[in-house]
Amino acid sequence: MSDHMDASTPYNGAITREQFLVRETRVVAQLKADENLTNEQIVERVTRLNLFHYPTERELKSISKACCRRLGALSDDPATRDALVQLIAHGMPEEVRQANLYALMRTFRVAWEFMVTVVGPHYRSFDPSLPRRDIASFLEQLRTQDERVAGWSDATMNKIRQVLTAALIECAMYDRKTEMLQPVFLGVSLEQGIRANGDEVCLPAFNCLI
């Protein structure tokens, strides 16, 4: 996965629109795990019953499709993917948030690289300090390396920084006031899924150093 993300996956600014979506992704995971609905059936059900409590049908369709994409991105192996979907559907809240972050990473290259190249090294070196400027610097560096990112506006870059920061906060991995990473424990089921995918490179991003 790391090679694939590095080499051929284009950067996608849709992360600014979709954001973390842990509540919505869990609803979709439950429909998939418990009722074995197809993605099309899930989008129809979410939209018809307004399961997200959104104001517009357009938003319901857009975000339910995004959640289906994330769950699909959890693994190329059906058994591993099903196990991780079950985890998001029925896991403890902390496990669900961590698995949702992993899904975000496997969906968006910018999230993958942020976690692997910025967050992981901080945990690995026992350096919890992660100032906002370091997150901004990571994004600015991407601007110099990739034509697509170079075309993103300052507002888009700032929004992505906010989304990445918010994802860490949602997982109780970051304190915005102190700008410090927090000690977290990676759930066993998610660790097994990450290893099954061959994604060990991202384990340090979840403070898993073995």
- The owner of tokens 């992704």 is 25
User: Which SS3 state, helix, strand or coil, does residue 175 take?
Assistant: strand
Identify the burial level of 102 via C-beta atoms within 10 angstroms of its C-beta, where 0-12 means exposed, 13-18 middle and 19 or more buried.
buried
Which pLDDT value is given to residue 168? 97
Strand partners, 129: 180
Q: Is the dihedral of CA 193, 23, 185, 139 positive or negative?
A: positive
pLDDT (tens digit, 0 to 9) for every residue of the chain, 210 residues total?
344 465 568 999 999 999 999 999 999 999 999 999 999 999 999 999 999 999 999 999 999 999 999 999 999 999 999 999 999 999 999 999 999 999 999 999 999 999 999 999 999 999 999 999 999 999 999 999 999 999 999 999 999 999 999 999 999 999 999 999 999 999 999 999 999 999 999 999 999 986
CB 165 within 8 A of CB 19: no
Residue 181 dihedral angles phi and psi, to the nearest 5°: -70, 145
CB 19 within 8 A of CB 112: no
Domains of the chain listed by start with CATH number: 2-206 (1.10.3540.10)
- The owner of tokens 């991105």 is 73
Which pLDDT value is given to residue 167? 97
Which pLDDT value is given to residue 6? 54
pTM of the model: 0.94
User: Which SS3 state, helix, strand or coil, does residue 180 take?
Assistant: strand
Which pLDDT value is given to residue 7? 55
CA proximity to 50, closest of 61, 39, 41 = 61
CA separation for the pair 148, 9 (Å, rounded): 12
